[in-house]
Amino acid sequence: MSKWPSLSAMHRSQSELLGPRVALRYPRHGLYHDISWTDYRQQADRAAAGLLQLGVQPGDRVAILAENRFEWLIADHAILSIGAADVPLHAPLAPAQVAYQVGHSESRGIVVSNQEQADKVFEVLDSLPQLEFLVAFESVESRSDRIRVLSWDQLRHGFSGEQLADGLREVRQREAALHSESLATIIYTSGTTGNPKGVMLTHGNLLSNAASTCDISFITTDDTLLSWLPYSHIYARCVDHYLTSIAGVIVALAECVDTLMANLAQTQPHWLTSVPRVYEKVWNSVATLDEETRNAALRCVFGPRVKQLTSGGAPLPRQIAEGFFAAGLPLLEGYGLTESSPVITFNSIEQYRIGSVGKPLHDVEVRIADDGEILTCGPHVMRGYWKNEEATNETIVDGWLKTGDVGYLDDDGFLFITDREKDLFVTSAGKNIAPAELERLLCRDEYIDQAVVYGDGRQFVSALIVPDFARLRSIAADLGVDPSSEDEFLTTPELLTFLGERVETAMQQVSQPERVKKFLVLARPFQVSDGELTATLKVRRRHIITRYEDRLAALYD
């Protein structure tokens, strides 16, 4: 049980305790600027008072459509403090996706970052009759007079001193009424088919999960965490945002994933939370070096102060974790999902097992069903899906959340994930195939960057492969050929033969029926903008297969 009744009470308490110490460090025009805990809370209170002026009531929903920036974090606390729930939207969403999530959640208002995001809202405004206002962090030009449009500064300063005093008193009153069962957020899952479901998480869900994760993190108030994962995603929301407030550490914001290496050098963090894709890219850049040189290069990338690195959101290849540990960089993997707030298990620096996703957190129960599915129960389990009782009842049975993942617990209580239950498929010969494991084997090869396995109901297994283009170009030069493409696929025979040999070698670790027999080579990486990757760079297997199924099916002709 948390010592605070709500996330808002926690943040206010920590802000009062830490006062002038640095809470946030954000980049602007190439330089980092600091915000103290006192200023952090004061800005949140002013924004909360502004939302009161707009008529936001307890229980209302307010959407946030913005890239990571310090104002996002302040807006979150402002919305929570007045008893409303926020609806975080992934920044790359298309207008139609924005329309669905804002409309389905019945959000009364939306906070956006800039003109590009505001224009998505204006484009679909006719389908959002319940939307009353838009607040923008940057100056935007309104495309409609149907809703009220305000700047971030207008929201925080658009009232008299007396109105501000009244507003701050009401903010405190609203905040005092919050408790563990109060709805904090509705987060829409990325979804592989159909419309996404809105996961309802309470203050108690998020606070208990952040506190339990903090207990095994060994993070101190002298630490700095570099934050780049999107705050619209539950992992960053819980760990980078709420856990860091509980621990009282400095959160330094990266500009974006493309500047992550430069931001590491600028901020010299003690902590980095990330996803396997980032660690895979770093590893691939040094994998061919001898061990001593590779270890030094890895330490140089992450800086002299790093205590530990954490990974979640997708499977972490074992050899990468082993390589980082060998370099003196503990890379700790955890596991969870949006519906569990999100952390279910995590390795810690004192108790870890490479290849596993760690042990269950305090107050988190895990058991394995008869069919191998991982089930979990505890204060981290969501309230349910927004306006979808049927899906809620299918997912939570007798208090146990069905994760949809398959795995096992070893004798010491470490959890191992073997596959997604819904991703398992069966070949026409009746062989059960776990695609995630085959994809991990393929991506262990230094010339293969990404892979998606296919073959449900087919006579053999095939795959889509994205090569490591830098290494492929080097091989092409050695072979005396130029990579060529037809449509979206590479077709150079010499390169296909070379990659075929790599695939065959990778498949030696599995049985004949499981092996990838044929493959297509994409001429570009999978991309977030095309819906092929989630906001945390996880491959959306079903979406990709649907997109390329005709070409994959042709492999069986």
Same domain, 288 and 159: no
Q: Please name which of 408, 405, 457, 451 lies closest in space to residue 431, comparing C-alpha atoms.
A: 457
Q: Is residue 481 part of a domain?
A: yes
Same domain, 393 and 289: yes
Q: Is residue 497 part of a domain?
A: yes
> Confidence band (pLDDT; 50, 70, 90) for 276?
confident
Same domain, 94 and 22: yes
What pLDDT, in 10s, does the model give residues 494-530? Answer: 999 999 999 999 998 887 888 999 999 999 999 888 8
DSSP codes joined into one string, 208-221: HHHHHHHHTT---T
What pLDDT, in 10s, does the model give residues 93-123? Answer: 889 889 999 999 999 999 999 999 999 999 9
Same domain, 218 and 110: no
Q: Is the dihedral of CA 112, 115, 117, 120 positive or negative?
A: positive
Report the CATH number that the domain containing residue 72 is assigned in CATH: 3.40.50.12780
How far apart CA 462 and CA 500 sit, in angstroms, is 12
Q: Is residue 200 part of a domain?
A: no
How many domains is the chain built from?
3
> Confidence band (pLDDT; 50, 70, 90) for 192?
very low
- Tell whether the model's pLDDT for residue 286 goes beyond 90: yes
How far apart CA 526 and CA 215 sit, in angstroms, is 36
3-class secondary-structure state, position 11: helix
Q: Is residue 384 part of a domain?
A: yes
Tell me the mean pLDDT in the region 56-61: 98
Question: Among the listed ranges 86-90, 287-291, 313-317, 547-551, which one has the minimum average pLDDT value?
Answer: 313-317
Same domain, 489 and 407: no
What CA–CA distances, in Å, run from 80 to 177, 234, 245, 271, 297? 11, 16, 15, 27, 43
Q: Is residue 197 part of a domain?
A: no
Residue where a domain terminates, one of 421, 451, 469: 421
- Exposure b/e, 84-118, CB count within 10 A at least 16 = b: bbbbbbbbbbeeebbbbbbbbbebbbbbbbbeebb
Same domain, 59 and 158: yes
Task: Report residue 392 as tokens.
Answer: 């809620």
Same domain, 151 and 116: yes
Residue where a domain terminates, one of 388, 421, 454: 421
3-class secondary-structure state, position 468: coil
Q: Which domain holds residue 461?
A: 424-554
- Pairing assessment for the beta strands 396-397 and 384-385 based on DSSP bridges: unpaired
- Pairing assessment for the beta strands 148-151 and 133-136 based on DSSP bridges: parallel
- For a pLDDT cut of 90, what percent of the chain falls above it? 77
Same domain, 38 and 105: yes
Q: Is residue 1 part of a domain?
A: no
- Tell whether the model's pLDDT for residue 317 goes beyond 90: no
- For a pLDDT cut of 70, what percent of the chain falls above it? 97
Same domain, 82 and 148: yes
Residues 22 and 35 sit within 8 Å (Cβ to Cβ): yes
How far apart CA 381 and CA 201 sit, in angstroms, is 8
Same domain, 23 and 152: yes
How far apart CA 412 and CA 355 sit, in angstroms, is 14
Same domain, 416 and 438: no
> Confidence band (pLDDT; 50, 70, 90) for 193?
very low
Q: Please name which of 341, 88, 351 lies closest in space to residue 203, comparing C-alpha atoms.
A: 341
Report the CATH number that the domain containing residue 536 is assigned in CATH: 3.30.300.30
- Tell whether the model's pLDDT for residue 432 goes beyond 80: no
Torsion of CA 21, 23, 27, 28, to 10 degrees: -70
Q: Is residue 290 part of a domain?
A: yes
Same domain, 411 and 525: no
Q: Is residue 64 part of a domain?
A: yes
